[in-house]
């Protein structure tokens, strides 16, 4: 039976591993992070090697697989010689770089101090302390500055170890010569005029320390050449001892670099372009690639079916990690401009919903399928009927709270289903699945919830007027007047009245207002601040009532400081507004009355005023 194992588990002499790095037969893939280890960690690593302690397994990948082509780069400190690598380090970069620079390169090591300030260090072993059984081996490892001089606080040299004779006299062994110890030992004995006790000391040091370096075997997992790209990425994430996950963007960057294409530079240009739209300021590179993969896989499926092939065998639409990693450079060049345009068209549609910044965006993730859909629709997206359907889908996603996690499968369904819906077929699953539970209103307290931000945007979109100026909140007034979400019944007032925080802090008691308006409201009772607002802005009672009603607020409840009446009426009115945005009814039977309480109490108010 043929083996299906894609890796070998073995050991390799540390000296051979470092020699391969020096000869550039072993390099790094370009997606690996830079060299970051501090001086203290290097000293600890050297102490562990000198005691033959395990320091972890190294993982490498054989090169030569045409489907897993990464741009290589040298380990820091290695002089280039033009030799193509035979292996790439996937895990163990920091340890191997530390060891290469400190004991093999023959050059001063580039590291950092405890405050992460860049420093240069030579590493030594105190011979007497190293062989002392009562001494801690970590304390025997000494790092010296580049000039090998130790200075006092005035900068005066206290000890200078910059010459071999100074090393011999101080009995400090330079670990940079650990693999050429015999020549150093010969000169050491000569310096001490072949003193018998010194010879015994250096022999003991060789047996207890140097031999451990020379004989040290590093555990090695070698991924074989046939290992697929997605497996390389997954393995890297699982074993990366640096603790920083590899992104698909970084892996594709390394892949495209093998064809002399800088994905990072291209993305930086596109990202700057997208950031000109405030709602796109936080769009990430992996989300851009997700939208692109949706288009690439959708196009492959469409072409497959157009050739009359069986539907069951057709490739699926997807944007999962594996599919992103299968993007070719040609795919990227084909779709990048369309995806960029799709995100920009998505921003335009979202602005139409009165969502103006990435901070107010309910779901950034929902931009992915939206951008993909708009990239394919092009000018058709400007039709009123198309915009209406896209808006409905958008609000169903928000109030159905469907884009919080595990969204790749929904993305893949959204693209074909929305396109079919726009062209006359049935509703997408996102529209059908969306359901808003009325009790959810009282649990929406912060911007952490997409529905919380969605309600705020709906109130602005559907004509909410500022309490003080009476102006409609559009993109101009949003920024000019610093519009934000504020309490209607002020928090301090509610606390004094003994109102439950779960009610006064929820979205039912909040609405978008200008910063100046909120300062006038302060902690005053509604009956008080309404009078102040009317006087300061020259607004009469009838106009003030219109402004309040534009926020789905029952005016009389505010004028008599009746929080309970206000809350019940506004809660029901908000549910009606959500129903309108989603284009479907909310199941209220298990929650409360089906009647529109806002309309009924508003009618009562008009009767009282007329009487």
* pLDDT recorded at residue 22: 96
* pLDDT recorded at residue 478: 85
Distance CA 493, CA 499 (A): 9
* pLDDT recorded at residue 601: 33
162, 145 Cβ separation under 8 angstroms: no
Q: Is 90 exceeded by the pLDDT of residue 295?
A: yes
Quick one: which H or E segment has residue 87? strand 87-91
User: How confident is the model over 271-283, as pLDDT tens digits?
Assistant: 999 999 999 999 9
Q: Is 70 exceeded by the pLDDT of residue 237?
A: no
**Using 50, 70 and 90 to split pLDDT, how confident is the model at 595?**
very low
* pLDDT recorded at residue 110: 93
* pLDDT recorded at residue 67: 72
The rounded radius of gyration (Å) of the Cα atoms in the chain is 34
**Using 50, 70 and 90 to split pLDDT, how confident is the model at 469?**
confident
Measure Cα distances from 308 to 304, 318, 487 in Å: 7, 21, 60
Two tokens, residue 33:
């992070």
* pLDDT recorded at residue 153: 82
**Using 50, 70 and 90 to split pLDDT, how confident is the model at 589?**
low
Q: What is the mean pLDDT of residues 413-431?
A: 95
* pLDDT recorded at residue 240: 53
Task: Pick 371 or 306 by higher pLDDT.
Answer: 371
Task: Name which of 435, 439, 373 is nearest 398 in CA terms.
Answer: 435
Beta strands in 352-501 (DSSP E): 484-487
Q: Is 70 exceeded by the pLDDT of residue 441?
A: yes
Least confident of 45-59, 272-286, 466-480, 593-607: 593-607
Instruction: Return the SS3 of 575.
Output: helix
Q: What is the mean pLDDT of residues 189-216?
A: 96
Count the residues in the chain: 611
Task: Name which of 305, 308, 307, 327 is nearest 316 in CA terms.
Answer: 305
User: How confident is the model over 504-538, as pLDDT tens digits?
Assistant: 999 999 999 999 999 999 999 999 999 999 998 89
Q: How far is CA 98 from the centre of its chain?
A: 28
Q: Residues with Cβ < 8 Å from 316, sequence gap 6 or more? A: 297, 301, 412
Instruction: Quickly list H helices, 2-38.
Output: 14-22
Distance CA 487, CA 465 (A): 15
Q: What is the mean pLDDT of residues 326-354?
A: 95
Two tokens, residue 310:
């069986």
Instruction: Return the SS3 of 420.
Output: helix
Q: Is 80 exceeded by the pLDDT of residue 609?
A: no
Percent of the chain clearing pLDDT 70 (strictly above):
91
* pLDDT recorded at residue 6: 64
CB burial class (10 A; 0-12, 13-18, 19+) of residue 594?
exposed
Q: Is 70 exceeded by the pLDDT of residue 129?
A: yes
Q: Is 80 exceeded by the pLDDT of residue 449?
A: yes
User: How confident is the model over 140-160, as pLDDT tens digits?
Assistant: 999 999 999 998 888 889 999
Quote the DSSP letter at residue 249: H
Average per-residue pLDDT for the chain: 89
Task: Name which of 230, 259, 221 is nearest 87 in CA terms.
Answer: 221
* pLDDT recorded at residue 606: 31
Distance CA 510, CA 490 (A): 9
Instruction: Return the SS3 of 321.
Output: helix
Quick one: which H or E segment has residue 57? none
58, 89 Cβ separation under 8 angstroms: yes
273, 340 Cβ separation under 8 angstroms: yes
Least confident of 188-202, 255-269, 518-532: 255-269
Distance CA 324, CA 410 (A): 16
Distance CA 130, CA 135 (A): 7
Q: Residues with Cβ < 8 Å from 387, sequence gap 6 or more? A: 349, 352, 381
Two tokens, residue 394:
């958008």
Q: Is 50 exceeded by the pLDDT of residue 197?
A: yes
Instruction: Return the SS3 of 424.
Output: coil
Q: Which residue has the tokens 């995100």?
A: 343
């Amino acid at each position: 039976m043929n083996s299906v194992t894609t890796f070998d588990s073995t050991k390799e002499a540390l000296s051979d591993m470092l020699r391969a790095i020096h000869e550039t037969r072993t390099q790094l893939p370009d997606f690996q992070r830079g060299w970051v280890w501090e001086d203290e960690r290097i000293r600890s690593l050297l102490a562990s090697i000198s005691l033959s302690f395990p320091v972890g397994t190294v993982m490498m990948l054989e090169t030569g697989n045409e489907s897993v082509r990464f741009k290589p780069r040298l380990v820091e400190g290695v002089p280039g010689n033009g030799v193509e690598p035979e292996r790439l380090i996937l895990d163990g970069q920091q340890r191997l770089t530390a060891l290469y620079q400190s004991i093999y390169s023959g050059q001063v090591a580039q590291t950092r101090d405890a405050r992460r300030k860049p420093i240069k260090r030579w590493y030594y072993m105190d011979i007497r302390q190293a062989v002392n059984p009562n001494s801690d081996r970590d304390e025997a490892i000494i790092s010296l500055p580049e000039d090998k001089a130790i200075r006092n606080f005035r900068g005066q040299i206290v000890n200078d170890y910059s010459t071999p004779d100074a090393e011999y006299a101080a009995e400090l062994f330079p670990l940079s010569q650990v693999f050429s110890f015999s020549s150093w030992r010969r000169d050491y004995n000569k310096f001490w005029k072949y003193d018998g006790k010194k010879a015994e000391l250096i022999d003991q040091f060789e047996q207890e320390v140097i031999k451990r370096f020379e004989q040290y075997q590093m555990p090695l997992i070698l991924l074989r050449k046939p290992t697929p790209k997605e497996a390389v990425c997954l393995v890297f994430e699982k074993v990366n001892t640096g603790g920083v996950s590899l992104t698909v963007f970084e892996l594709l960057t390394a892949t495209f670099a093998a064809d002399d294409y800088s994905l990072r530079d291209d993305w930086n240009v596109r990202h700057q372009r997208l950031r000109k739209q405030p709602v796109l300021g936080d769009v990430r590179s992996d989300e851009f690639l997700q939208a692109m993969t949706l288009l690439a896989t959708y196009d492959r499926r469409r072409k497959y079916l157009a050739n009359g092939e069986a539907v069951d065998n057709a490739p699926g639409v997807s944007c999962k990690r594996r599919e992103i990693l299968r993007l070719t450079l040609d795919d990227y060049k084909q779709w990048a401009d369309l995806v960029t345009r799709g995100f920009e068209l998505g921003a335009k549609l979202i602005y139409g919903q009165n969502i103006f910044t990435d901070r107010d965006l309910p779901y950034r993730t929902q931009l992915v399928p939206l951008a993909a859909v708009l990239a394919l629709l092009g000018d058709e997206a400007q039709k009123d009927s198309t915009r209406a359907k896209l808006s409905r889908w958008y609000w169903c996603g928000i109030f159905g709270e469907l884009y919080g996690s595990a969204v790749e499968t929904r993305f893949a369904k959204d693209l074909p289903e929305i396109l079919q819906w726009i062209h006359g077929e049935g509703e997408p699953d996102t529209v059908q699945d969306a359901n808003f539970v009325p009790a959810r209103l009282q649990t929406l307290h912060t911007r952490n919830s997409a529905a919380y931000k969605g309600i705020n945007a709906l109130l602005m979109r559907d004509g909410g007027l500022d309490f003080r100026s009476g102006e409609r909140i559009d993109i101009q007034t949003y920024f000019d007047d610093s519009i934000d979400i504020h309490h209607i019944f002020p928090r301090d007032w509610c606390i004094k009245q003994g109102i439950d925080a779960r009610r006064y802090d929820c979205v039912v008691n909040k609405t978008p207002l200008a910063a100046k308006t909120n300062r006038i409201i302060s902690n005053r009772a509604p009956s008080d601040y309404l009078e102040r607002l009317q006087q300061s802005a020259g607004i009469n009672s009838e106009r003030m009532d219109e402004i309040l009603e534009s926020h789905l607020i029952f005016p009389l409840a505010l004028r008599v400081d009746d929080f309970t009446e206000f809350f019940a009426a506004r809660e029901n009115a908000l549910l009606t507004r959500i129903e309108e945005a989603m284009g479907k009814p909310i199941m209220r039977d298990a929650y409360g009355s089906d009647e529109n309480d806002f309309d009924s109490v508003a009618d009562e108010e008009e009767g009282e005023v007329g009487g």
